[in-house]
A and B are shown apart, each in its own frame.
Chain A
Amino acid sequence: MRKSKYQKIMPVAMIVITLLFFYLPIILMMVFSFNSSRSLTSWSGFSLQWYQNLFKDRDIISAVTTTVSIAVISTVISTIVGTISAIGISNSKPILKEVILTINNLPILNPDIVTAIGLMLLFSSMSIDKGFLTMLLAHIAFCIPYVILSVLPKLRRLDANIAEAALDLGATPWQALIKVIVPQIMPGIISGALIAFTMSFDDFVISYFVTGNGVKNISILVYTMSKRINPTINALSTIMIVIVTIILIVINIIPLFKKKERTVLE
């Protein structure tokens, strides 16, 4: 069937408009981060002053440090704990498995504000001083379930016999774990780690409720600074967007190269 011109243009137009919708605010924000005046609407010349401001502002630097360090630490810990726990879960009795999985899914199913409130009440009633530690614990708490959910499917497809065979052949449980099981579920672990990192980096609501004593992450910072027009935030946002985009492009290009390698080898 020959498509009419209209039929050909429509999908393209739709996609283009959608992409414009997605990227216009972002691009505008990025463009105006280089504006030499405070205005976010009228261009008065190119300037890097907001970026300079950014690096001089201790509040911003500390928020970025907090966000990154919490994201890294909670990703590492939740990936390790999550993977190990997932292995444990998949080897548990069915009833126990059901119970643990249901509880495990609560932080994911619950709206984040409910999880946030719950954790806030927890820290309050234990009279723990809110701050970096509580934010970290909270992040680990909501990241682990995602890791488990990412690893479990891979574990299910795993051939249980291989690990048992390793044990029979004299491997210690630890060796069986590290050298047999983990390599096979590695894709699940990695995607779990990625999700954990994103969830932690992007989090606002939970961090907002469990933090204190001046400890802020980037989301909280943008939230508090958004009340007044502040191009410095635009500068920070631009940097974040650029980094995210580069990482995403890289991640998506690497498999393409690997494919090429393989086809060359074959």
Chain B
Amino acid sequence: MKKLFKLLAVLILSVTVFGCSGEQKEQLKVYSWGVYIDPSVITEFEDKYNCDVIYDNFDSNEQMYTKLMGGESYDVLVPSDYMIERLIAEGQLQQLDLTKVPNFSNLIEGITDLPYDPGNQYSVPYFWGNVGLLYNTTTVDYNDLETEGWNILADTNYQGRIFIYDSERDSFMVALKALGYSANTTNEDEIQAAYAWLTNVNDTMSPVYVLDDSIDAMIAGNKDIAVMYSGDAAYIMSENEDMSFYTPNEGTNLWVDGMVITKDSEAVDLAYEWINFMLDEDVAARNSSYVGYTSPVQSVYDEMSGVGGEYEGNIAYIPRLGYVNDEMFRNNETIRKEIADLWTRIKSS
């Protein structure tokens, strides 16, 4: 018996010690999207700044928010524009001292100083893009895309062959745009009309609601049309030549994912280093190349999309800027709740 106890004691001790052995260096906790960074970049950062980076993933802004409110503590978050707006309003973020982010000057002007964070007082762009239709050029009639725009998702000719992104915000944006309304509308009738539009698609088109699972599926050509983020589309197009990307004339959502520092962060200096590191030309290039999303760094953007660049000719890599019907999301708590509720209903039916 005694021997057994001794063995157990040793076992527990060694496991605890082993588990705790990583606690000597400073830690940076980053909470970001899945497959949104080149893993070698993390290792390089850890070596360069002699720290441990805990890199956690979320599937959606809402999930990130819920976890944050549930008491998780991270240093750097990478939310989308409207979520940044919400976090700012709720006092969850630190105001940024941009002098500590010298690489800020590398950024494309058009995506800085936007309404969700005027003057970039709280956030620094990480990736940006829009939402569109990834489609199989061999099976989808381009004419349909031009004439129907987002309504092609309700075109029963393509029944059973579409992927819809499992995000209430993006789906309602698509519905509202298809009906000619603003994606940020607060008009109850319009929202109900969008709800009806989505319910119709759900009932008649047998869509499959997915998150990132659609990426591999589209590379394999399993379906013909998918609502996609431009970055994922760019990546898929680089792997499957039959695929192309279309942003309807009705307009779409232009988005920016930005890096922010949480109010309670305990590794603020390290956080600044991280943010600045991400905007370094070489690092940003590697990230953009690995993930497929459009870089906010001007020189990288030019190189990737330019002659000889990795995404040369890839229209998903160059999102439309300045198109009057394209909108950025604004934060509205009441509408958000309503839309979330309606979306759950649509999926449940």
A and B touch in the complex (CB under 8 A): yes
Q: A212 to B67: give the CA distance in the assembly, Å.
A: 8
Q: Which of A68-76, A147-155, A159-167 contacts B (4 or more CB under 8 A)?
A: A68-76
Closest CB-CB distance, B106 to chain A, in whole Å?
29
Closest CB-CB distance, B128 to chain A, in whole Å?
22
A178 cross-chain contacts in B, Cβ below 8 A: 1
A73 cross-chain contacts in B, Cβ below 8 A: 12, 15-16
Q: A214 to B35: give the CA distance in the assembly, Å.
A: 15
Query: Does A120 touch B at the CB level, under 8 Å?
Result: yes
B15 cross-chain contacts in A, Cβ below 8 A: 68-69, 72-73
B35 cross-chain contacts in A, Cβ below 8 A: 228
* Number of A residues with CB within 8 Å of any CB on chain B: 26
CB closest chain-A residue, reference B58: A224
Dominant SS at the B interface? mixed
Given contacts A65-B19, A227-B34, A227-B211, contact A130 B71 (CB under 8 A): yes
The reply to whether B71 and A123 form a contact with Cβ atoms under 8 Å apart is yes
The reply to whether A214 and B55 form a contact with Cβ atoms under 8 Å apart is yes
A214 cross-chain contacts in B, Cβ below 8 A: 29, 54-56
Q: Chain A 106-122 against B: per-residue CB contact (8 Å), 1 yes, 0 no?
A: 00000000000000100
Closest CB-CB distance, A70 to chain B, in whole Å?
9
The reply to whether A224 and B12 form a contact with Cβ atoms under 8 Å apart is no
Query: Does B11 touch A at the CB level, under 8 Å?
Result: yes
Closest CB-CB distance, B169 to chain A, in whole Å?
19
User: Which bucket holds chain B's interface residue count?
Assistant: 20 to 34
Partner of A213 from B56, B211, B216 at Cβ < 8 Å: B56
Binding site for B on A (CB under 8 A): 59, 65-66, 68-69, 72-73, 76, 120, 123-124, 127-130, 132, 178-179, 182, 212-214, 224, 227-229
- Since A65-B19, A178-B1, A213-B72 are in contact, a sample of 12 more A-B pairs with Cβ atoms closer than 8 Å, ordered by chain A residue number, is A69-B18, A76-B11, A129-B71, A130-B72, A132-B19, A182-B1, A213-B29, A213-B54, A224-B34, A227-B212, A228-B213, A229-B216
Can you list 29 A-B contacts (CB < 8 A)? A66-B19, A68-B15, A69-B15, A69-B16, A73-B12, A76-B8, A76-B11, A127-B71, A128-B71, A129-B71, A129-B73, A130-B70, A130-B72, A178-B1, A179-B1, A212-B67, A212-B70, A212-B72, A213-B54, A213-B56, A213-B73, A213-B74, A214-B54, A214-B56, A224-B34, A227-B34, A227-B215, A228-B215, A229-B216
